[in-house]
Chain A
Amino acid sequence: MKNLMNRITAISLAAVLLFSVLGATSAAAARKGFDPNKVGGKIVLTSFSDPVIFIWNRASDSASIDLMGMMFESLVKSDFNGQPIPGLATSWKFDKPSLTYTFNLRKGVKWHDGKPFTSKDVKATFDMYIDPDSVNTYKTDYESIQSVTIVDDYTVKFKLKENNVFFLTGGPASAGAILPAHHFPNGVKDYNAKNSKFGRNPIGTGPFKFKEWKTAERVVLVANKDWWDGRPYLDEIVTRILPDANVEALNLIKGDVDFVEKLNPRTLSEVAKNKNLKTITYDEGRFDYVGWNNKNPIFADKKVRQAMNYALDRQAIVSKIYLGKAYLGTGPMHPTLPQENKNVKPYPYDLKKAAELLDEAGWKKGSDGIRTKDGKKLELEVTYNNGNTNRQKIAQVFAADLKKLGIKANVRGYEWSLYLDKYLKGELDMFVLAWGGYDGATLEHKGFFHSSAIPDLEKGTAGNNRMRVDYPKVDKILEDYLTEEDASKRIKLYQELHAFLAEEAVAAFTHHPKNTAGMNKNLMGVKISMASSFFNIEDWYWKK
């Protein structure tokens, strides 16, 4: 359940009030539609690597986050579309003049070790997240909190430093899983502890309880039969650590594994043929792109950037590499979201147009067929991270077209850590990468396109605007989006941003992949939201 994750939301105050009313009425007893006949059975999931640590906000790997999402809960949960619904808080209200959120906590919730959940846990958790010494890797998401105070056992107040319109979904209320205060008696010291016992024996309030973790073999969770929303249907979740994607698929085909989150297009055909398996295709909130350093003198010229966009055969990428399982890319907004500007069309594949633009930009073909400007040959390296075969293929397809244009284009793979380092320093000519982790409510791009997020090597700051996109207009839109309270106005802002980024051709947006999960055909109830594959894991069940 990545919905607890690092993300910012776009939800209007009106919707918040609506949901808080709903929350107050639907707090009691087991969840709607609970069917005791569905109870039972175990499921085997997979992960490429071990979780890092089961302490919220200390891990950013998907294995840790997925499993913690099944064991921990936050005050506010997200529904399928990312809108806030009651979690450990049954209702909430915001007092704008005093910048204070008041949360009414759910009564009768028990930690997995049997101790009651109270406001003390909420305060202790956020005190650990915002402590200056905290190793919370997502600390900046909690910067808007000034203090947390306990009103009574089941009421907490959050005083904010400034208004945060995303407080409820991507912000602290949904991204901050609540930890048990009684397991962190020394507060942030225990949170930061090097060899934390809790980190390998977590205690949460969620639908599943931790049972065992055998390093490099498996992590086992079991049903929390006392969960406040009625027990989950499955008795047990085993996550096998399978570091090889081929072996993962073989396990699925053999029936040793019940669910694989992402199948690659090649194994997909094997899985689709198998009578015991079925697949679900789902959207993931991300965008893939071929990017460059916009401050690189070659790419400072808009004509060159546009030429790159015309030279990119997006359709070939979608149909040949992804076998149709992707949307054509036009910008950083996912095409199924309202923030996407429908008037922005993908750049057509047009090498002639690209050649014209390069000519106009002053890059003329020399006698050897290579384009030259001011005595400098146009030579570019298209890079990808080793092991990612899709990106490798994109790089190859793109480089082949660049060569046709008279550009000396080479393809090169880098090992991941090295790749990121060069990406940070702006040393890569062109790179095939992706960015995302959002849904409709949490889409927000300030950290990626704002000029303040450009890495400053001298000061040693490592922002994520590594394509070095730098326009006052973009900065303004990104900032306004964070403070605008009217949802429809916010959507307009991002549609405008989308059109601007496409016209300026700050990158060549390639595609948005559609993922396919493979699973046993008798596994029912699986819903995959844009934010998480395990969004409703408590409702998964076996057909009897």
Chain B
Amino acid sequence: MISLQPPAISIHRGRLPYLDRNEGCSLFVYILRRTWQTIPLLFIISIVTFALMTLAPGDPIAMFQNPEGVNNADSLETLREDLGLNDPIYVQYLKWLKLVVVEGNMGYSFADGRPVVEMILERIPATLILMGTAITLSFLIAIPIGIFSAVRKYSAADNLFTFLSFLGISIPSFFLALMAILLFSLKWSIFPVSGMRGDHTDGFNFFDITYHLVLPATVLAFGLIASLSRFMRSSMLEVINQDFIRTARAKGVSERKVIMKHAFRNALLPIITLVGLQLPSLLGGALIIETIFAWPGMGRLAIDSIFNRDYQVIMGITMFGSLLVVIGNLLSDVLYAVVDPRIQYGKNG
């Protein structure tokens, strides 16, 4: 069995400080410690975001004016005073911090005075459904493609996948989205043009939502499939050329078992890291997809609030997004332990 232990491979570089198996902490303590570390991190993010946001040109009051210059509002000064925009920036920040820390409240939208928490919570399910489906879908498709391409390197099929993935990476998602709508909704009338639910359905109606989900989730997954399958291919190739694989083959292990057990598990490790790292960019991609498909998620809330300079909502979303990324990274580290037998949080090495 000793011969089957893979050597420390290079793809783990850069993650070791968090994953030092010699520290001997339990998984629970590890998670606790990581959670504790996020507090100063989130604090710094909040200061930086607030500073950038308020220093950027533009004015929240502008949202009360119509882009066509029509129906302009008066009394904007009163409004500015009411919203506390005349305070110095640090006072505005401290007021916001007080709201969050003392009252456990993320503030109120400048636009309609609703609590930011309520606005975000209302949007989260839609975004999670869309992103979750897209991630799952892309993994389910990209990983087999990656393995196949690596095993049949330079075959016709591999070349085809290479071509397709370059296409997938280079086609802008908004274009793909519009083309998908043109073909599947307009021409063939298979899927709805946009929205998450029919006009008369409410709450979580599985079939209705799935029906509306197909196009946006596929389009969102498309780019991810393209890049993930490339990653999987190169990661797989790297592992296949390792000594322990040769050993396994020499030992007479069936090719299928060599690929699926020895090579695949090791090649999957860096891909799991990608889940965590992909979260922010996927959130970004979801903005566009949500806008085109009129999907009622967080992305649109983010875009609207940024254009409107709705500071409180921007802060709420940034903090929430940061939290999501932190959790995503933590999750991928924990998943690591599950997949990689060498990483154990519970025992001393």
Same assembly: yes
- Nearest-CB residue, chain A, relative to B126: A216
Partner of B113, one of A53, A65, A242, A421: A53
- Knowing A242-B194, A436-B69, the reply to whether A247 touches B113 (Cβ < 8 A) is no
Is the CB–CB distance between B113 and A195 below 8 Å? yes
Which of B18-26, B234-242, B277-285, B289-297 touches A? B289-297
- Nearest-CB residue, chain A, relative to B296: A216
CA distance A65 to B111 in the complex (A): 14
Q: Is A352 an interface residue when CB atoms closer than 8 A count as contact?
A: no
Partner of A194, one of B108, B178, B308: B108
- Knowing A61-B66, A136-B75, A247-B181, the reply to whether A218 touches B108 (Cβ < 8 A) is no
Partner of B62, one of A421, A437, A447: A421
- Per-residue contact bits, chain A 427-440, to B (CB 8 Å; 1 contact, 0 not): 00000011111000
Is the CB–CB distance between A240 and B71 below 8 Å? no
CA distance A420 to B79 in the complex (A): 17
Which of B164-172, B195-203, B339-347 touches A? B195-203
Q: Is B103 an interface residue when CB atoms closer than 8 A count as contact?
A: no
- Knowing A137-B75, A137-B76, A238-B199, the reply to whether A416 touches B70 (Cβ < 8 A) is no
Is the CB–CB distance between A434 and B70 below 8 Å? yes
Which of A87-95, A138-146, A307-315, A469-477 touches B? A138-146
Which of B9-17, B268-276, B299-307 touches A? B299-307
Contacts of B292 in A (CB 8 A): 244, 246-247
- Knowing A215-B122, A217-B197, the reply to whether A140 touches B75 (Cβ < 8 A) is yes
Rounded to whole Å, the gap between the CB of B328 and the closest CB of chain A is: 24
Partner of A199, one of B70, B113, B300: B113
Partner of A53, one of B57, B63, B112: B112
Rounded to whole Å, the gap between the CB of B96 and the closest CB of chain A is: 15
The number of residues on chain B lying at the interface, defined by a beta carbon within 8 Å of a beta carbon of chain A, is 61
Q: Is B186 an interface residue when CB atoms closer than 8 A count as contact?
A: yes
- Nearest-CB residue, chain A, relative to B112: A53
Partner of B71, one of A52, A53, A196, A437: A437
Contacts of A421 in B (CB 8 A): 57-59, 62
- Knowing A216-B296, A243-B291, A420-B65, the reply to whether A460 touches B77 (Cβ < 8 A) is yes
Q: Is B182 an interface residue when CB atoms closer than 8 A count as contact?
A: yes
Q: Is B114 an interface residue when CB atoms closer than 8 A count as contact?
A: yes
Contacts of A28 in B (CB 8 A): none
Is the CB–CB distance between A250 and B185 below 8 Å? yes
Q: Is B321 an interface residue when CB atoms closer than 8 A count as contact?
A: no
Contacts of B61 in A (CB 8 A): 462
Partner of A247, one of B76, B194, B309: B194
Q: Is A286 an interface residue when CB atoms closer than 8 A count as contact?
A: yes
Is the CB–CB distance between A250 and B186 below 8 Å? yes
Is the CB–CB distance between B113 and A193 below 8 Å? yes
Is the CB–CB distance between B67 and A416 below 8 Å? yes
Contacts of A243 in B (CB 8 A): 291, 294, 300
Is the CB–CB distance between B199 and A218 below 8 Å? yes
Contacts of B192 in A (CB 8 A): 256
Contacts of A385 in B (CB 8 A): 67
Contacts of B181 in A (CB 8 A): 247, 250
Contacts of B78 in A (CB 8 A): 135, 139
CA distance A422 to B66 in the complex (A): 16
Is the CB–CB distance between B70 and A436 below 8 Å? yes
Is the CB–CB distance between A416 and B71 below 8 Å? no
- Knowing A216-B296, A238-B199, A434-B70, the reply to whether A416 touches B307 (Cβ < 8 A) is yes
Is the CB–CB distance between A195 and B291 below 8 Å? no
Rounded to whole Å, the gap between the CB of B67 and the closest CB of chain A is: 6
Is the CB–CB distance between B74 and A139 below 8 Å? yes
- Nearest-CB residue, chain B, relative to A386: B307
Q: Is B72 an interface residue when CB atoms closer than 8 A count as contact?
A: yes
Contacts of B59 in A (CB 8 A): 417, 420-421
Rounded to whole Å, the gap between the CB of B186 and the closest CB of chain A is: 6
Rounded to whole Å, the gap between the CB of A214 and the closest CB of chain B is: 7
Is the CB–CB distance between A60 and B108 below 8 Å? no
- Knowing A137-B74, A137-B79, A250-B181, the reply to whether A217 touches B113 (Cβ < 8 A) is no
Q: Is A489 an interface residue when CB atoms closer than 8 A count as contact?
A: no
- Knowing A49-B304, A216-B296, the reply to whether A62 touches B182 (Cβ < 8 A) is no
Q: Which of A238, A243, A416, A417 gathers most chain B CB within 10 Å? A: A417
- Knowing A137-B79, A436-B70, the reply to whether A254 touches B294 (Cβ < 8 A) is no
CA distance A2 to B63 in the complex (A): 19
- Per-residue contact bits, chain A 124-152, to B (CB 8 Å; 1 contact, 0 not): 00000000000111111100000000000
Is the CB–CB distance between B75 and A240 below 8 Å? no
Is the CB–CB distance between A462 and B66 below 8 Å? no
Is the CB–CB distance between A244 and B113 below 8 Å? no
Contacts of B72 in A (CB 8 A): 6, 60, 437, 447, 464
Q: Is A328 an interface residue when CB atoms closer than 8 A count as contact?
A: no
Q: Is B51 an interface residue when CB atoms closer than 8 A count as contact?
A: no
The number of residues on chain A lying at the interface, defined by a beta carbon within 8 Å of a beta carbon of chain B, is 65
Contacts of B122 in A (CB 8 A): 215
Within 8 A of B (CB), among A438-469: 447, 460-462, 464
Q: Which of A244, A385, A464 gathers most chain B CB within 10 Å? A: A244
Is the CB–CB distance between A254 and B193 below 8 Å? yes
Is the CB–CB distance between B66 and A139 below 8 Å? no
Rounded to whole Å, the gap between the CB of B216 and the closest CB of chain A is: 11
Q: Is A44 an interface residue when CB atoms closer than 8 A count as contact?
A: yes
Rounded to whole Å, the gap between the CB of A515 and the closest CB of chain B is: 11
Q: Is A155 an interface residue when CB atoms closer than 8 A count as contact?
A: no
Q: Is A415 an interface residue when CB atoms closer than 8 A count as contact?
A: yes
Is the CB–CB distance between A434 and B69 below 8 Å? yes
Q: Is A160 an interface residue when CB atoms closer than 8 A count as contact?
A: no
Q: Is A253 an interface residue when CB atoms closer than 8 A count as contact?
A: yes
- Per-residue contact bits, chain A 202-224, to B (CB 8 Å; 1 contact, 0 not): 00000000000011111010000
Contacts of B64 in A (CB 8 A): 60, 137
CA distance A6 to B72 in the complex (A): 8
- Per-residue contact bits, chain A 22-53, to B (CB 8 Å; 1 contact, 0 not): 00000000000000000000101000010011
- Nearest-CB residue, chain B, relative to A416: B67
Is the CB–CB distance between B77 and A462 below 8 Å? yes
Is the CB–CB distance between B68 and A436 below 8 Å? yes
- Nearest-CB residue, chain A, relative to B65: A420
Contacts of B112 in A (CB 8 A): 52-53, 59, 199
Is the CB–CB distance between A216 and B113 below 8 Å? no
Contacts of B197 in A (CB 8 A): 214, 217
Contacts of A416 in B (CB 8 A): 62, 67, 307
CA distance A49 to B82 in the complex (A): 24
- Nearest-CB residue, chain B, relative to A387: B67
Contacts of A436 in B (CB 8 A): 68-70
Within 8 A of A (CB), among B195-220: 195-197, 199, 202
Partner of A60, one of B66, B182, B193, B308: B66
- Nearest-CB residue, chain B, relative to A6: B71
Partner of A418, one of B58, B185, B194, B195: B58
- Nearest-CB residue, chain A, relative to B192: A256
A-B contact pairs, 29 of them (CB 8 A): A6-B72, A6-B73, A49-B304, A52-B112, A53-B111, A137-B75, A139-B74, A140-B74, A193-B113, A194-B113, A196-B113, A214-B202, A215-B122, A216-B294, A217-B196, A217-B197, A244-B291, A247-B193, A247-B292, A247-B293, A250-B194, A251-B193, A254-B186, A256-B193, A415-B58, A417-B57, A418-B58, A434-B68, A447-B72
Q: Given contacts A196-B113, A216-B300, A422-B57, list 19 more A-B pairs with CB under 8 A.
A: A60-B64, A137-B64, A140-B74, A194-B114, A195-B115, A215-B122, A217-B197, A217-B296, A220-B199, A244-B294, A247-B181, A253-B186, A254-B193, A256-B194, A286-B70, A417-B59, A418-B57, A461-B77, A462-B61
Binding site for B on A (CB under 8 A): 2, 5-6, 42, 44, 49, 52-53, 59-62, 65, 135-141, 192-196, 199, 214-218, 220, 238, 240-244, 246-247, 250-251, 253-254, 256, 286, 385, 388, 415-418, 420-422, 433-437, 447, 460-462, 464
